[in-house]
Structure 1
Amino acid sequence: MTDETTTDPTPPDDATADVTERLGYRLKRAAAALRGAMDGALREYGLTVPQYACLELLDQRPGLSNAELARGTFVTRQSMNVVLRGLQDAGLITRAPTADHGRALPAHLTEDGHRRLAAARTAVYAIDQQMTDAVPPKRLAALLADLNRMAETLGG
């Protein structure tokens, strides 16, 4: 007995397969569309997507280190150094000049950082809601669970 809701995937070695029908392609396309929409919305607030993500994480968990922020925003530690420098230069975060222990320099939002995040969050959440609204409500929980399983399967 077969499940009619699934299809057999085209074998990866089939050179005639339409790559645009592959799950990975579709996920990347959706991610690129989300990134483009966020880039456009955040430009109005003088933020990049990694900067915004960093502000969100610091709002939820003040004092995160560079390495923790890099993992949480899906960028390298080197890229996070650039992100943090930009946020610090803009007066949106503070970091101690020296570490209390080890090499980690915990970061915290400034009042300006909280204000900028609150303004940008409205625009980003509207984009997220627009994307969410494209999924029938009765399928949303299953989709979110499927996405989590995919990430876990690949080690994410």
Structure 2
Amino acid sequence: MTPADTRRRERLNVSASLLYLVKRTELAVRARLDELLKPAGITALQYTALTVLERHDGISAAQLARDSFVTAQSMADMVRALESRGLIHREPNPANRRERLILLAAPGRRLLAEYAEPARRLEESMVADLSPEQIATFREALNAAWRSLS
């Protein structure tokens, strides 16, 4: 990279909108997570859905879609793919016979356990240049921004 390229990148980082910076970071995280998960044969979006189920097992596909940041149609395709791999299973909702609840299956739990440490290291690398106080402030700021838009 030439000095002119470096200066241009620095100007972009200072002048870029926060929306741009958040999206750029999200895309970088997603690319790294996709690379990390490639041996498992799942995508970052599928991994996100599994982590949602790990925290909130037995939810509807609509709720899983909302919590995983995907459309209902995308979630329908994802549920079929994850179910065919045996990572999740569905069962009738006792409170609503027309609805099926999605649950994390044992192989899905094992996959999450296997990738917990690599995912933690990825997160650590993302904030490696920040102090513990900056990390806490960053986390609080992201949560506050999300609450403002929700």
TM-score, normalised on structure 2?
Answer: 0.82
Q: Does the 8 Å contact 1:42/1:123 carry over to 2?
A: no
Kept after mapping to 2: 8 A contact 1:63/1:106: yes
Alpha-carbon distance, 1:120 to partner: 2.3
Match runs of 1:89-128 below 5 Å = 89-96=84-91, 98-100=92-94, 101-128=96-123
Partners of 2:129 and 2:63 in 1: CA distance: 32
Shift of 1:99: 4.7
What corresponds to 2:17 in structure 1? Answer: 22
Q: Following TM superposition, by how much is the alpha carbon of 1:29 offset from its aligned partner in structure 2, in angstroms?
A: 1.3
Distance 1:18 1:124 in 2: 29
State the alpha-carbon separation in 1 of the partners of residues 120 and 142 from structure 2: 19
Aligned equivalents of 1:132, 1:18: Cα separation in 2:
20
Change (3 A) 1:122 1:26: same
Instruction: Give the alignment's Cα RMSD to 1 decimal.
Output: 2.0
Identity of aligned residues (%): 31
Hey, which of these two has a bigger chunk of strand by percent?
Answer: 2
- d(CA) in 2 for partners of 1:142 and 1:113? 32
Q: Comparing 34-43 with 111-120, which one deviates more in the overlay?
A: 111-120
How many pairs align?
A: 138
Q: List alignment gaps of at least 5 residues for structure 1.
A: 1-16
Q: Distance in 2 between matches of 1:26 and 1:144?
A: 15
Bigger relative contact order (CA 8 A; separation at least 6): 1
**Cα distance in structure 1, aligned partners of 2:142 and 2:55:** 23
Is the contact made by 1:45 and 1:120 (CA closer than 8 Å) also made in structure 2?
no
Aligned-partner SS, 1:34: helix
Q: Does the alignment pair 1:135 with 2:139? A: no
Say which of 36, 45, 48 aligns to 1:50: 45
Greater percentage in helix:
2
Deviation at 1:121, TM superposition (A): 2.4
Cα distance in 1 between the residues matched to 2:78 and 2:27: 20
Instruction: Give the aligned residue type for 1:135.
Output: L
1:123-148 Cα deviation digits (max 9, x unpaired): 22211121132322222222222222
In the alignment, structure 2 segments of 5+ residues that lack a partner are 1-10
Residue deviations 1:39-80, cap 9 Å, x none?
A: 100111111112111111112221011011011110011111
